[in-house]
Structure 1
Amino acid sequence: MTAAPMLSELERDALAELGNIGIGKASTALGRMLDGLVTLSVPSVEMVPPDEVAGLLDRALAPPLVGVSERLGGLFAGCALLVFPQGGSLPLVRAALPPDVPADDVPELEDEVLAELGNVVLNSALALVANLLGEPVDTGLPVVVRGSGAEILRRCAVVAPAIMAEAGAGGAAVLFHIDLRTALPGGDGVVVGGRVVLLLDAGSAGTLQATLGRYIGRLVA
C-alpha cells in the first residue's frame, strides 16, 4: 500500500478551509442553476493513498455508485470525481428538471443532467480554489460512470491514463465528505451523501503541499 503525503495539522486545516470555501461556491452555483432546490453541505476532508479510495467509497456510500469524472490539468494533474450512491441520483435529477417533465422521461435524461450537475460542482469548487491559491486548474469534459468504487476509479484511468498509471507511486487522493440536499416543490426532499475526490499524481501531491504552505504563509503574514 502506498503512502500519501503527510500533512501537518495546519496544512489539513488549510485544505479543509479551501474545501469549505470551494464547496460553498459550488452550492451557490447550484442554487442559481436550480432555484435553491439542491444545496451542498460544508465538507470534512481527508488525504489517503490512491489505492485506499475504492474501499473507502464502497464502505461509506454503498454500491452501486454514480460518479461524474473530469480530467485535471494545470496546477494539479489527475482526475476529479463527484461520487454518490446510485439510489440518490434520481432525486437529484428530479430537482434539476422542470416540474412539468413526466416522471417516465426522467431516467432517460439522467446521465445528461448528472453530467451537468457534476460539471457545475467540480468546476465551481476548483475554480475558486485555484483563484485562492493563485494557480490555474483546468478540467476536461464530464463523464458519468456507474458501478463499484473500483469501477468508478477505472474511469479515471481512461480519462487520464498516464496520470493514473503513476498515481500509485507517491500519489495522493483528497476526499471531501459532502451532503447534497434536495428540496422539491410540495415538500419532498432527500439528503444524498457523497464525496468529491481529487486523485493526484506524485508531482501534483507535492505541489498541493507546497501550495498549501504558501497559502498559509499569506494568511499569517
Structure 2
Amino acid sequence: MIAAPMLSELERDALAELGNIGIGRASTALGRMLGGLVTLSVPSVEMVPLADVAGLLDRALTPPLVGISETLGGLFAGCALLVFPQAGSLCLVRAALPPDVPAEEVPELEDEVLAELGNVVLNSALALVANLLGEPVETGLPAVFRGGAAEILRGCSGTPPTADGAAVLFHIDLRTTLPGGDGAAVAGRVVLLLDAGSAGALQATLGRYIGRLVA
C-alpha cells in the first residue's frame, strides 16, 4: 500500500492561491447562470487521508448534504465533488430557475439545476488550475447525490471512503447578491478524491509550479 502524501505549508498556500484563481473564474460563470453577483472564495485548503473525509464533511457542514460529482482524468485523476448543505443549495436552485416556474415544479427540476451548477463550478475552476500548473485535466458528466458524507463519497468515487489515497479539500464560501434584494451565504467544500499515485503526482506538480515562481 502506497502512503498518500501530505502537503507542506508552502504547498497548501500555493494550492489555496490556485484555488482562489480558479474559483474566481467560476464566480463569473455562476453569476451569469444566477443572474446576479456571486462571490466565491477559498479561505483554506488541506490534503487528508480518504478515511478522514466523511467525518470532516459531516462536522463542517450541516446535514443532509447534497454533492455534485464529476469523474476526472489527467492531473486530477479521480473524482471531484462540490458539497453543500441541502438547505443552502435550495436557494441557489430557486435563483437559477426563471421566476415564472411554479413552486410545485421546482423539486423535479432540482437535480438538473444542481448538476449544471456543479458543472460550472468544477469545470471552470479545475480547468484554470490545471492550465496554470501546465497539466491537462478531463472531466466527465455531473451526477447528484444526497445523504450523509459517507453516502455521497461512495456514490462519487464508487469505492468506500476508507480506501487508500488522499483527498484535497478546498473550503469555499459562496455569497450572492441577486436581483430583488435576495441573497445567500453558503459554506461548502470542493473535494478532490485521489488515489495515492495521483496525490503524489499532484504534489510533484505543485513543487515544479512553486519552483517556477521563485526562480
TM-score, normalising length from structure 1? 0.91
Which of 168, 175, 199 does residue 174 from structure 1 map onto?
168
Q: How do residues 176-195 of structure 1 correspond to structure 2 at under 5 angstroms? A: 176-195=170-189
Q: How does 1:1-221 map to 2 (within 5 A)?
A: 4-158=4-158, 164=159, 168-169=163-164, 171-221=165-215
Give CA-to-partner distance per residue, 1:6-63, whole Å, 9 cap, x none.
3222111111111111111111111223232543223311111011110111111021
Aligned residues: 214
Contact 1:182-1:191 at 8 Å conserved across structures: yes
- Counterpart Cα distance in 1 of 2:74 and 2:201: 11
Partner of 2:116, secondary structure, is: helix
Deviation per residue, 1:73-125 (Å, 9 max, x gap)? 11221110000001112101011112222222211110000000000000000
Would the aligned equivalents of 1:82 and 1:122 in 2 still touch at CA under 8 Å? yes
What displacement does 1:214 show?
0.6
Task: Give % identity.
Answer: 85
**C-alpha separation between the residues in 2 aligned to 1:193 and 1:110?**
19
Aligned partners of 2:28 and 2:43: how far apart in 1? Answer: 15
Amino acid at match of 2:54: A
Deviates more, 1:36-45 or 1:20-29: 36-45
Tell me the CA shift for residue 188 of structure 1: 2.1
> Over residues 152-171 of structure 1, what are the superposed CA-to-partner deviations in whole Å (9 max), with x where a residue is unaligned?
0011233xxxxx479832x2
Q: Please report the RMSD computed on the Cα atoms of aligned residues, expressed in angstroms.
A: 1.8
Contact 2:130 2:137 in 1 (8 A): yes
Letter aligned with residue 187 of structure 2: G
In 1, are the aligned partners of 2:30 and 2:120 still within 8 Å (CA)?
yes
Unaligned ranges ≥5, structure 1: 159-163
User: 2-side partners of 1:112 and 1:191: how far apart?
Assistant: 22
Q: Please give the alpha-carbon distance, in whole angstroms, between the structure 1 residues aligned to 2:205 and 2:19.
A: 14
Contact 2:150 2:161 in 1 (8 A): no
Q: Name which of structure 1's ranges 112-121 and 6-15 shifts more when overlaid on structure 2.
A: 6-15
**Distance in 1 between the 2:196 and 2:4 partners?**
9
15-24 or 110-119, larger mean C-alpha shift: 15-24
Query: Do 2:51 and 2:161's aligned partners in 1 also have CA atoms closer than 8 Å?
Result: no
Q: List gaps (5 residues or longer) in structure 2.
A: none
SS of residue in 1 equivalent to 2:115: helix
Instruction: Single out whichever of 97-106 and 60-69 deviates more from structure 2.
Output: 97-106
Question: For residue 52 of structure 2, what is the amino acid of its counterpart?
Answer: E
Q: TM-score, normalised by structure 2?
A: 0.93
Deviation string 1:110-146 (CA, Å, 9 cap, x unpaired) is 0000000000000000000110011101111000000
- Greater CA deviation, 42-51 or 130-139? 42-51
Name 1:161's counterpart in structure 2. Answer: none
Change (3 A) 1:190 1:33: closer
Give the letter aligned to residue 109 of structure 2.
L
Instruction: Deviation per CA, 1:165-206: give whole Å up to 9, x if none.
Output: 79832x210101112223333212221110000010111100
